[in-house]
Structure 1
Amino acid sequence: MSDSKFNPRTAILLLIIVLVSIIRVAAALSDNFKEIANFSGVGAIALFGGAYFSNNIKAFGFPLLILLLSDIFISQISGYGFFYGGWYWIYIAFILMVFVGKVMLTKINVQNLVLSTIVMVLIHWIVSDISAMYIPGLYEPTLAGYWACLVAAIPYELNFVYGSLIYGVLMFGSFELLKAKYPYLSLSRNTVA
């Protein structure tokens, strides 16, 4: 007899993450992709993975894999190169964002979701914008250049806040509703997600 059993909790969590990432990929097909690029669910995916997967490999691995696959797809259809200078800063920010979900969302409620979203967006803004310093001619690689980049990023980060909150409410709300209806989706001693 095998110890590995089908875990519906993991399957449902992963399904929610995949559905939101499909919306992100579909947005790249839009004519106004540059304007809506940061209005996505990637921040919510990071928090969601951190909050609901107790296993660190799944908590960090699933959201990072989804981000990587969707980034590769978006770079192929949009013409933006994937391995641009400093791209890894975005992934470092994403790892920190998952960590925020693990630490700040041990109890799921509206207050914690909003607070963790704000912290996550600040991390995204401060860490991922370091990548712009590596793109030749975009910003001077100085403190003044970094500050100019942060200021220029404010409208995009506002979109990131809105997207993260809306997708976060959809993702967390749908899973919490499913847990209320199907209690076996809650973590127990015998369930590891």
Structure 2
Amino acid sequence: MKTTQWMTLILMVLVAAFSRLIPHPWNFTAIGAMALFGGTYFPSKKLSMVIPLAALFVSDLVLGFHATMLYVYVGFLAVVLLGWTMREGKTFTRVGTMSLVTSAVFFLISNFGVWMMEGLYPKTAQGLVSCYVAGIPFFGNQILGDLFFTAVLFGGYEAIKKFAPDFAVKASA
């Protein structure tokens, strides 16, 4: 990979990590979109998993660690895996739909982690439902953030491929 291509990837990781560190509405960050983007565009499947998790980890070093981290990281890995399904045939509709799907997948996994690890809810079906209901306000912001940053990342990268192809990274299976 060329230096310019590495610079593109590193810049994207830093922007995603930074989006968690600046003041923002709860869950309105670039991390979910970065995970989807990574699964779709990064040149190797291994790299597609490592780079988004690196962005998450870098920002967690500043924000602090918590009991539900395993579920958060697994949730973002699931988003990367769903991104793998979009390596071929990216359309506006498909990218938008997958952004919504990955928001829902992350919501389900991360809130399950809150229910399991935090002790805020009884370990019953009703407790799990209560946990998911309590997470709905965060979910709305996550959907908006994922849609916004997915549009920025995917749209921006397609523009880079068209107007500055030396900075683009070719995906491989």
Length-normalised TM-score, structure 1: 0.80
Superposition misfits of 4+ residues, deviation over 6 angstroms: none
User: Which consecutive unaligned segments of at least 5 residues does structure 2 have?
Assistant: none
User: How far is the alpha carbon of 1:108 from its aligned partner?
Assistant: 2.7
Q: Distance in 2 between matches of 1:16 and 1:83?
A: 25
1:18 paired with 2:14, answer yes
1:59 match = 48
Q: 5 Å matches for 1:1-193?
A: 6-27=2-23, 36-75=25-64, 82-84=65-67, 86-133=68-115, 134-136=117-119, 138-186=120-168
Number of equivalences: 172
Larger Rg: 1
Q: Distance in 1 between matches of 2:95 and 2:70?
A: 26
Length-normalised TM-score, structure 2: 0.89
User: Which consecutive unaligned segments of at least 5 residues does structure 1 have?
Assistant: 28-32, 76-81
Mark the CA change 1:90 to 1:187 in structure 2 (over 3 Å): closer, same or farther.
Answer: closer
User: How far is the alpha carbon of 1:142 from its aligned partner?
Assistant: 1.5
Write out per-residue CA displacement over residues 14-62 of structure 1, whole angstroms, 9 at most, x where no aligned residue.
31232232122122xxxxx6xx121111110111111111312210001
Asked if the contact 2:160/2:168 (under 8 Å) is kept, the reply is no
Asked if the contact 1:13/1:175 (under 8 Å) is kept, the reply is no
Asked if the contact 1:20/1:167 (under 8 Å) is kept, the reply is no
Write out per-residue CA displacement over residues 84-128 of structure 1, whole angstroms, 9 at most, x where no aligned residue.
2x3211111110011111113533331111111111011111111
SS at match of 1:40: coil
Q: Distance in 2 between matches of 1:105 and 1:119?
A: 16
Mark the CA change 1:69 to 1:187 in structure 2 (over 3 Å): closer, same or farther.
Answer: closer
Asked if the contact 2:29/2:142 (under 8 Å) is kept, the reply is yes
Greater shift after overlay, 125-134 or 177-186? 177-186
Write out per-residue CA displacement over residues 136-190 of structure 1, whole angstroms, 9 at most, x where no aligned residue.
2x111121111111111111111000001111111111111111012344555xx
Q: Distance in 1 between matches of 2:61 and 2:125?
A: 30
Mark the CA change 1:21 to 1:159 in structure 2 (over 3 Å): closer, same or farther.
Answer: same
